[in-house]
Amino acid sequence: MIRKMGYVQKTILVMMILIQTNLLFSQKKLSKDTLFYKTDSTLRWRDFKGHSIPSAAATADSYISIYANAKPNVKTNSEDLYIYPVFLKKKSWYKSAADTTEYLLKHEQLHFDIAELVCRMIRKELKQEFGNSFDNYQKRYEKILNKYLKQYTKMSEDYDNETSHSLNMAKQKEWNDKIKQMLDDLSEYSAPVVSIDLNKFK
């Protein structure tokens, strides 16, 4: 990123922790410095705890991931699919206080919101996909994840390109309004877990 342009470069990492064929799940835990998405919370510049890279063209870098995991729920005999966006504090950074404007931070917040939007799309399709059948579960699960992870990457790139990384204020407002409306439309899928009832597949 060119410093004088005043935008934050985005690093997108997709963390896909997929279950095994026998429904075992990953025990890997996320760091305590991971910020989980909440509808009533926003990013703050103090969340950017990583060490800046002096030679980097970017004035700041935010690290957003989509985390996917599956856990069998013995009590309810269900497969609980967890899908949620996370912000990795220790891998996110900024160079100087002069770059930490409120406007730029809101631009970054929308990247986080876009990640949550895509998670809601994933949750919706998972509910629909496994409403009547659990056959070939892993293959179908991975296919849905891969489809939407590509969509997330494209949507984030389109967002930065159309807003010129926040410099185009009119386009920025358009995106702010659009993503808010889309999140509202998918509000019923805001819970991070989708529970697949296995009792009906006996």
Average pLDDT across each block of 10 residues of the chain; the chain has 202 residues. List them in order: 36 36 36 82 90 78 86 88 92 86 90 95 94 85 91 92 90 97 97 88 67
* pLDDT at site 164: 87
In this structure, the strands spanning 93-94 and 60-73 are antiparallel
Helix (H, G, I), strand (E, B) or coil at 101: coil
State the pLDDT at residue 132. 82
Give residue 123's pLDDT: 96
Distance separating the N- and C-terminal Cα atoms of the chain: 55
Helix (H) or strand (E) holding 94: strand 93-94
CB-based contact 99:9 (threshold 8 Å): no
Pick from 99, 24, 35, 113: which is nearest to 69 by CA?
24
| Phi-psi category of residue 3: left, alpha or beta, with phi > 0 → left and psi -120 to 50 → alpha | alpha
Whole-angstrom Cα distance, residue 31 to residue 148?
A: 24
Record the pTM: 0.82
The pLDDT assigned to 53 comes to 83
Q: What pLDDT is stored for residue 13 in this prediction? A: 42
